[in-house]
Every structure is written in structure tokens, then in C-alpha cells.
Amino acid sequence: MKKTYLKLKHILKWKVVMSFSRIWSIIRPDAAKFSEMQHSKYQKEAPRMAKVNHVQHNSNPDLWQIGYGPLILFPERFQGGLALDFACGAGRNMENLNKFSIFSQIHGCDISKENLEFAKKNLEEFAPKGNFKFFPVDGRSVINDTDAEKTIKYSFIFSTIALQHIPVRSIRNSILKDLHALLTNEGLLSFQMGFGGKQFGGFKRPGSVKYEANFTHARETNGKNDTRVEDPDSIIKDLQEIGFIDIRWFITRSWEDRHPYWIWIWASRVEIPTNTL
Ligand SMILES: C[S@@+](CC[C@H](N)C(=O)[O-])C[C@H]1O[C@@H](n2cnc3c(N)ncnc32)[C@H](O)[C@@H]1O
């Protein structure tokens, strides 16, 4: 009798667990819901973001030596081409990229139309001679669907303090796939993400989730519920699967950020000229 009771209790317990996980798999927000959350948070954040425009990050030597490094080391590869700043915010990096006098036009895209408006205003004021263009994105992709935009290719694509705010690996990979498709054959993608974890003394940003997670139910963004890279190989593997041939990575201390470290990545469709490194 007691045995049957225990068996029943065990089965019942598993039934309850199973039905909870089934309900959760139905109500769990999907990638589109995560992007909606990001969109509304960044729209609200825009006035504050515009005021600060992250200009304190311009004093970070790693931004210039690593982030924009390819423009210093092999500028001829980008000369006269188009540049894209993915998640451009209020336009700080677009203004910096313009200072290299390499590109014929610099584009900026962002999930927040409000941020794009601020970027436009800032660049009119601080880089009036620059040739800039802006377009909004849905938070999960980059390619716009019009025929004219399908033919646009960038020789340099850049992104800072943005991909780390997407704790959903499937979304990041769909964005990286689009960025790969948007590069010219000789083009190069240079971006940064938060780094920390086991290999580095266990230091990691509080509230961050592992690189592998698809944390679509995050209720916050822009620092809270970030993703963190713990092992360069995990991101290299994803980039290789997308089709990047030559991938270089650099780990530095972070700058004005609660991630203890940053990982900077250069990803190229063809070999990066090593005689320049
Ligand atoms: C911390 S700000 C950084 C702005 C700029 N990249 C810089 O370094 O100054 C993050 C920016 O990423 C944008 N963003 C966040 N998630 C995005 C997504 N999924 N797609 C496009 N833009 C996104 C935000 O709207 C915001 O402008």
C-alpha cells in the first residue's frame, strides 16, 4: 500500500513539473517579444542616452587601437567604401569614423528611431561636412527589404556596447548573419562584447547570463540582463558557422562598464593581412 502511494506521489510530482514546463514553453516570451521589450525601453531611454552619448568612451585607447584598429593598420582596404555602425545610439562612433576620412558614406542603424533622430542632430552639429545616412532596424535583423538596400555592401561594419545587451544567442546570430551578408568581399566587421567568467578569476558582470543562453524572458536591457562571453571559442564557432574566414580576438579591461573585461572581435570574409599586425 505504502509502495503504491509513494509511486503515485512520484508520478504526480513529475506530472506537475512536466505541465509547468509545458505551460512555460507556451507562455515564455519569444525573440519577437524580447525585441519589443528592447524597443520600448530604448525609446524611453533615448533622451538620457542622447545627452550622454557615451562620449566618455572616446577616451578609451582600446577603442582607437583595436576597435578602429583596422582603419589605422590597413586603411587602403576600406578607402572610398561605405561604413555601417550597428546600434549607433546618438552617433558617437559615426562621428569618430568620419574623422578617418576614409569612407564615402557612413550609415547608422538602431532599434530606436528616437536615437537615430538624436544621432542626426548631433552629426549635423559636430560633423556638418560628413556624409551620413540612418535607418531603423527591428532588433533581430539588419537588412532592409527594399531592392536598393539589398545591393548595399559595407567595407567596414562596427559596433560597440550593443551586442552585449542582447542576451539571446539566436537573435545575435541572426544579426551577425545579416552583417556578414552586408559586407563586401574584402569587408571587415569589428565589434565588442562583455567578457568574464571562470577562466578570468570568476569575475563577471552581476545579472549577466551565459553566452549560450536564449534569455528571451529578460525584462530589462542596456546593462541589466546582459550576455557575457566566457570563452572566445564559443563566439568564434558561431562566426565561422556564419561564414567568416579570419577571426581575431583581443581581451582588454572594460571601460566605464560593469563587465570586468571586454572582448573585441575582428571578423573578415577573407584573410586579414598579417604583415600589418
Ligand atoms: C549603450 S548604447 C551604445 C550606443 C553606441 N553603439 C555607442 O557605443 O556609443 C546601446 C545602443 O544599442 C541599441 N540597441 C540595443 N539593442 C539593439 C538591437 N537589438 N538592434 C539594434 N539596436 C540595438 C540601443 O538603441 C542603443 O542605441
Q: Crossing angle for the helix pair 232-242 and 169-182, nearest 10 degrees?
A: 50
Q: What is the pLDDT of residue 275?
A: 72
Q: What is the pLDDT of residue 276?
A: 66
Mutate to test the pocket of ligand 1, among 35, 37, 38, 215 (most ligand atoms within 8 A of CB): 38
CA distances from 243 to 13, 124, 150, 173, 218 (A): 46, 37, 19, 12, 29
Output the CA torsion sign for 117, 121, 224, 204.
positive
- The yes-or-no verdict on residue 24 having pLDDT over 60 is no
pLDDT band at 198 (very low <50, low <70, confident <90, very high): confident
Mutate to test the pocket of ligand 1, among 115, 117, 172, 256 (most ligand atoms within 8 A of CB): 115
Strands (E), the chain: 82-86, 105-110, 132-136, 154-159, 183-195, 209-210, 227-228, 246-253, 261-268
Mean pLDDT score, 258-273: 95
Spell out which residues line ligand 1, taking CB within 6 angstroms.
Answer: 38, 42, 54, 87-89, 92-93, 110-112, 115, 137, 139, 160-162, 165-166, 222
Dihedral pair phi/psi, residue 174, rounded to 5°:
-70, -35
Mean pLDDT score, 200-210: 92
- The yes-or-no verdict on residue 273 having pLDDT over 90 is no
The mean predicted confidence, pLDDT, of the chain is: 91
State in Å: Cα 110 to ligand 1 middle: 6
Mutate to test the pocket of ligand 1, among 85, 109, 111, 192 (most ligand atoms within 8 A of CB): 111
Give 104-150 pLDDT, tens digit per residue: 999 999 999 999 999 999 999 999 999 999 999 999 999 866 666 67
Give 39-54 pLDDT, tens digit per residue: 999 999 899 888 888 9
Q: Specify the pTM.
A: 0.91
- Within 10 A of 130 (CB to CB), how many other CB atoms are there? 18
- The yes-or-no verdict on residue 65 having pLDDT over 60 is yes
Q: What is the pLDDT of residue 27?
A: 66
State in Å: Cα 233 to ligand 1 middle: 24
Give CA–CA dist 169/229, Å, rounded. 11
